[in-house]
């Protein structure tokens, strides 16, 4: 038998021999029952030590590919039917359970991609760049240049980079990166390997203390023993859903709401019931019939600077919501992802601050205020549900990275948080104002919005007949992106007349230019429709 051997710097010879034979067996070129050459003979053929061949055979035997019979030699064993197919061959059929997965309705495939990867620093394949490429393919209407379209805005010819108004996060330039780097160093010096060992499931105790103090300073009394550190606020949603909900259970959400929550609930086969919203948040007045009809196991709500609408739940409604949740025995999950980013008006108390005990699970995160890539968020809960959520965290991923928790604890003090918060609010308020001004100046009159008092987003209602999905393609050709409304609605389809703009992640100049481009896309869309009509 001739086996190609690389004698200079390759793998050990016995390994090369075994690899070659294994390949032959798996591919079927060495058939079951075949007797392999005697070790002495093959050693002579290959010019290697006999022990080398014996070692190779022993390896194959340990893998169950060959068997040696005493005094009779070494034989190829019958392979599995499947292993006779070349591994990775596209012709190899997936097992049945995988084929079923393939047929199953995928949960939304794009909702979070943009939220997460838009503007991400990595130049490598991100969701956003995939999406850009996918949508960059000239559409059917492209290149036909509706009469009157300006040359500078001609399809595909936009010289400037895409202005991303689709993102779901704040401005990375506010991230205190140098401070944080120093804290990482300090923590590794101070704590040594302890910083890299497992920590408490519910999170590093001093960080839980800091969080409790920050919450209290913002008007939400909290104790460290009611705080659980998670991998961002998304994980709070996942843990609560895993603990309290079973497939088929109903969950009430605002319509529209955060797409990442909708995707989670769909993944878990829940029945998602949307309740309408207006400029003052969830229409709590219309909630009761849904509670009576659907017997939901959870109400998920974003009372402050809602995603995507930017609205803030009215104080009366807050109290009524807690009252209804109590009467119908439904847990409330309060997602306060940007509750502190307030630019106007008065602070509303968190639902959790109105909770007489154990009615509300409060979720928040450092992702929007500090650094999304840390993946550190937290929940606040009291009553038996707290310990169950800790267990849930434990079976999901044991604990959140100890090192990052310690560095965050070293960095975040109440004072520093307040300073950072003030700076962020100042900057974002200006940007919000720039966006509102640009909208008034550059968008068609039929566009409607409620100016947000805080948060990251402006939510637009389009003029009749305009579809945000179709508009997105046109807007990208103009060099601007946004989050189309569809992804925020439980039904998916209601969102055609809406879109979400992020004003926090871009400079005022970019915002103005981006809205201008959006206006251009809208006018082209209107002209095309008028032209067709």
Site for a copy of itself, residues 289 to 328, rule: CB under 8 A: 297, 314-319, 322-323, 326
Stretch that binds a copy of itself, among 40-48, 141-149, 345-353, 419-427 (CB under 8 A): 345-353
- Token pair in block for residue 147: 């009469």
Taking Cα atoms as reference points, which of 419, 418, 443 lies closest to residue 515?
A: 443
Q: Distance between CA 331 and CA 355 in Å, rounded?
A: 11
Cα 502 from chain centroid (whole Å): 17
Kindly tell me which residue out of 152, 160, 177, 279 binds a copy of itself, with binding defined by CB under 8 A: 177
255 φψ region: left (φ > 0), alpha (ψ -120 to 50), beta (else)? beta
Residue 85 found at the interface with a copy of itself (CB under 8 A): yes
Applying the rule CB under 8 A, the residues between 108 and 147 that interact with a copy of itself are 109, 112-113, 116-117, 119-122, 124-127
Q: How far is the CB of 193 from a copy of itself (least distance, A)?
A: 4
Q: Which is nearer to a copy of itself, 309 or 400 (CB)?
A: 400
In the list 57, 180, 300, 417, the residue contacting a copy of itself (rule: CB under 8 A) is 180
Nearest 5°: the CA angle 169, 170, 172 is: 110
Is the CB of residue 310 less than 8 Å from the CB of residue 455?
Answer: yes
Q: At its nearest, how many Å lie between a copy of itself and the CB of residue 211?
A: 15
Q: What is the number of residues in the chain?
A: 533
Stretch near a copy of itself under the rule CB under 8 A, chosen from 86-94, 154-162, 478-486, 507-515: 86-94
Residue 163, token pair as written in the block: 């202005």
Segments in 444-494 forming alpha helices (H): 468-478
Among 69, 150, 346, 532, binds a copy of itself (CB under 8 A): 346
Rounded CA separation 424/339 (Å): 13
Q: With respect to a copy of itself, which residue has the nearer C-beta, 58 or 526?
A: 58
CB of 382 to a copy of itself, least distance (A): 8
SS3 content of the chain, % helix, strand, coil (to 5): 50, 10, 40
Query: For residue 96, how many C-alpha atoms fall within 13 Å in the half-sphere facing its CB?
Result: 0
Nearest approach in angstroms of CB 442 to a copy of itself is 29
Could you write out the DSSP letters of every residue in 500-530? EEE-SSS-HHHHHHHHHHHHHHHHHHHHHHH
Stretch that binds a copy of itself, among 138-146, 341-349, 457-465, 474-482 (CB under 8 A): 341-349
Residue 11 CB, shortest distance to a copy of itself, in Å, is 10
Tokens 């309290």 locate to 244
Q: Write down the least CB distance from residue 24 to a copy of itself, Å.
A: 15
Work out how close the CB of 359 gets to a copy of itself at its nearest, in angstroms, rounded to a whole number. 6
Give the residue from 166, 170, 230 showing the smallest Cα distance to 421: 170
Report the Cα 181 to chain-centroid distance in Å. 25
Question: Which residue lies nearer to a copy of itself by CB, 396 or 437?
Answer: 396
- Cα–Cα distance measured from residue 482 to residue 118, given in angstroms and rounded to the nearest whole number: 10
Whose Cβ is closer to a copy of itself: residue 149's or residue 396's? 396
Q: 139 or 349, CB closer to a copy of itself?
A: 349
- In the complex with a copy of itself, the residue whose CB is nearer, 91 or 137, is 91
| CB nearer to a copy of itself: pick between 237 and 439 | 237
Q: For residues 337 and 233, is the Cβ–Cβ distance under 8 A? A: yes
Q: What's the min distance (Å) between Cβ of 200 and a copy of itself?
A: 6
Q: Which of 5, 107, 141, 526 binds a copy of itself (CB under 8 A)?
A: 107
**List 29, 72, 102, 464, residue binding a copy of itself (CB under 8 A):** 102
Q: Which is nearer to a copy of itself, 45 or 197 (CB)?
A: 197
Distance from chain centroid for Cα 148: 41
Q: Considering only residues 9, 33, 357, 464, which one is a binding residue for a copy of itself as defined by CB under 8 A?
A: 357
Binders of a copy of itself among residues 385 to 444 (CB under 8 A) are 385, 387-388, 391-392, 394-404
Tell me which of 257, 348, 364, 481 binds a copy of itself, using CB under 8 A: 348
Between 162 and 438, CB nearer to a copy of itself: 162
Q: Which of 154, 354, 414, 436 binds a copy of itself (CB under 8 A)?
A: 354
Cα separations (Å) of 312 from 111, 215, 240, 257, 303? 23, 19, 23, 13, 6
- Do residues 489 and 469 touch, judged by C-beta distance below 8 A? no
* Dihedral pair phi/psi, residue 154, rounded to 5°: -60, 145
- In angstroms, give the least distance from the CB of 471 to a copy of itself: 25
**One of 53, 169, 301, 457 touching a copy of itself (CB under 8 A):** 169
Among residue numbers 190 through 229, which ones bind a copy of itself (CB under 8 A)?
191-201, 204-206, 221
- Nearer Cβ to a copy of itself, position 315 or 491? 315
Whether 57 and 74 have beta carbons less than 8 Å apart is answered as yes
Q: Does 244 bind a copy of itself (CB under 8 A)?
A: yes
Q: Which of 97, 292, 445, 531 binds a copy of itself (CB under 8 A)?
A: 97
Bridge-partner residues for 459, per DSSP? 500
**Which residues are CB-contacts of 82 (< 8 A; sequence separation ≥ 6)?**
92
The distance from CA 402 to its chain's CA centroid, rounded to whole angstroms, is 21
Q: What are phi and psi of 184, to 5 degrees?
A: -60, -45
How many residues of this chain interact with a copy of itself, rule: CB under 8 A? Answer: 135
- Binding positions for a copy of itself, 4-23, rule CB under 8 A: none
Binders in 248-277 for a copy of itself, by CB under 8 A: 260, 263-264, 267-269
C-beta closer to a copy of itself: residue 153 or 421: 421
Tell me the pairing of strands 298-301 and 66-69: unpaired
């Amino acid at each position: 038998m001739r086996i190609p051997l690389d004698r200079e710097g390759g793998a050990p010879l016995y390994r090369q021999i075994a690899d070659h034979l294994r390949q032959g067996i798996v591919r079927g070129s060495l058939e079951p029952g075949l007797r392999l050459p005697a070790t002495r003979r093959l050693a002579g053929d290959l010019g290697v030590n006999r022990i080398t061949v014996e070692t190779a055979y022993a390896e194959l035997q340990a893998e169950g590919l060959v068997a040696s019979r005493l005094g009779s030699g070494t034989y190829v064993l019958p392979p599995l039917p499947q292993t006779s197919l070349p591994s990775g061959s596209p012709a190899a059929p997936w097992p049945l359970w995988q084929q079923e997965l393939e047929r199953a309705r995928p949960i939304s495939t794009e909702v979070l991609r943009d939220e997460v990867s838009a503007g991400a620093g990595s130049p490598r394949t991100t969701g956003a760049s995939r999406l850009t490429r996918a949508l960059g393919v000239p559409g059917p209407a492209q290149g036909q240049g509706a009469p009157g379209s300006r040359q500078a805005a001609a399809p595909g010819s936009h010289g400037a980079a895409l202005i991303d108004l689709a993102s779901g996060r704040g401005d990375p330039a506010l991230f205190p990166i140098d401070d944080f780097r120093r804290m990482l160093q300090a923590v590794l010096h101070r704590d040594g390997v302890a910083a890299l060992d497992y920590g408490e499931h519910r999170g590093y105790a001093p960080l839980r203390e800091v969080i409790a103090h920050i919450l209290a300073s913002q008007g939400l009394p909290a104790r460290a023993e009611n705080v659980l550190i998670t991998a961002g606020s998304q994980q709070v949603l996942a843990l609560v859903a895993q603990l309290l909900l079973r497939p088929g259970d109903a969950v009430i959400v605002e319509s529209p709401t955060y797409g990442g929550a909708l995707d989670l609930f769909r993944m878990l086969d829940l029945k998602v019931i949307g309740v309408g919203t207006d400029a003052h948040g969830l229409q709590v007045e219309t909630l009761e019939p849904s509670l009576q009809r659907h017997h939901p196991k959870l109400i998920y709500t974003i009372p402050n600077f809602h995603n995507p609408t930017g609205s803030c739940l009215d104080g009366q409604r807050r109290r009524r919501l807690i009252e209804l949740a109590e009467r119908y025995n439904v847990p409330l999950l309060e997602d306060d992802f940007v509750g502190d980013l307030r630019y106007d008006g008065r602070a509303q108390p968190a639902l959790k601050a109105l909770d007489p005990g154990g009615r509300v699970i409060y979720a928040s995160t450092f992702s929007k205020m500090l650094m999304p890539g840390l993946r550190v968020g937290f929940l606040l809960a009291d009553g038996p549900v707290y310990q169950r959520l800790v267990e849930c965290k434990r079976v999901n991923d044991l604990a959140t990275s100890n090192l990052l928790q310690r560095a965050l604890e070293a960095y975040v003090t109440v004072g520093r948080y307040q300073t950072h918060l003030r700076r962020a609010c100042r900057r974002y308020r200006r940007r919000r104002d720039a966006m509102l001004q640009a909208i008034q100046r550059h968008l068609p009159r039929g566009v409607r919005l409620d100016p947000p008092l805080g948060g990251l987003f402006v939510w637009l209602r389009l003029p009749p007949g305009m579809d945000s999905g179709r508009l997105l393609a046109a807007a990208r050709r103009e060099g601007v992106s946004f989050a189309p409304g569809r992804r925020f609605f439980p039904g998916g389809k209601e969102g055609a007349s809406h879109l979400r703009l992020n004003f926090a992640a871009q400079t005022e100049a970019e915002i103005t230019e981006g809205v201008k481009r959006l206006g251009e896309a809208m006018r082209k869309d209107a002209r095309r429709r008028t032209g067709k009509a």
